[in-house]
Homo-oligomer: A and B are copies of this chain.
């Protein structure tokens, strides 16, 4: 069984190494990862410069470094670099959560998404702490889940699993929940400054506001993480809003 592993924090990231050391116990693992951090690249791909792929001696020599995004890495791996197709594509472990609206910006989720687009089972894994993340539980959980996916031949068709794991000691984890994407907003998104030449510039920043419904019926990813549970959210690739198709039926009647 073969796993393609990628991330958006680069080939040097600790989360990648921790996950690799677990996954190689259950499968042949090939790594194709970016040469530098590519966080918040969304589902970007590289079309204006050529891509380079350098084989590295890291990770038992089964790894390539690419000057592109996570989506580039997966595309290039499947089309050019790997001798055989993977049975599963895993992106992570990301340093920092990917909850709610984050999934649109996340390079980690994008790596898994590209896997789904190309027809492979795929999952994205993140720990919900940026400064001093504890990857242990996330890595062992992903190994068990990967093994199950490999044995059962997939998860849901056209659906990636977005997994967020609390950054706590393994014995503090309170369980696993299947969740929907929660409500996460960013406020005060820019820090406006003036450079030494008197010209304005803007740092994208912003504070996270997670809306968590206090009722027990709150089945969102942000609520799971609040409760120290692993959150598993199935993410679909068909973004058509079918209900809106009905609503809009007559909307265009008077347009040319």
How distant is the Cα of A47 from the Cα of B110 in the complex, in angstroms? 17
The 4 A-B pairs with the shortest beta carbon distances in the complex, nearest first, are A42-B43, A234-B244, A42-B42, A236-B241
- Chain A 33-44 near chain B by CB (<8 Å), digits 1 or 0: 000010111111
In the complex, besides A40-B44, A40-B47, A51-B190, 6 extra interface pairs with C-beta distance below 8 angstroms are: A41-B42, A52-B201, A145-B252, A148-B254, A178-B249, A179-B245
A71-112: CB near B (< 8 Å → 1, else 0) gives 110011001100000000000000000000101110000100
- Mask of A47-64 contacts with B, CB within 8 angstroms, 1/0: 110111100000000000
Chain B proximity of A114: nearest CB distance (Å): 8
Candidates B80, B181, B239; contact of A192 at CB < 8 Å: B80
* Bound form: Cα–Cα A236–B43 in Å: 16
Residues from 169 to 221 in A contacting B, C-beta threshold 8 Å:
173, 176, 178-181, 189-190, 192-193, 199-204, 219
> How many copies of this chain are found per oligomer?
2
Which of A173, A179, A255 is most buried by chain B, counting CB atoms within 10 A of its CB? A255
Is A144 touching B256 in the complex (CB atoms < 8 A)?
yes
| A233 close to chain B: CB less than 8 A | yes
Contact residue among B101, B117, B190, B235 (Cβ-Cβ distance under 8 Å from A76): B190
Shortest distance from the beta carbon of A22 to any chain B beta carbon, whole Å: 13
Shortest A173–chain B CB gap in Å is: 8
- Specify which of B190, B219, B249 is in contact with A80 (CB 8 Å cutoff): B190
A67 CB to nearest chain B CB (Å): 9
**A148's contact among B39, B155, B199, B255, by CB below 8 Å, is which?**
B255
A240-B180, A248-B155 in contact; A145/B255 too (CB < 8 A)? yes
**Contacts A193-B50, A247-B156 known; A181 to B238 CB distance under 8 Å?**
yes
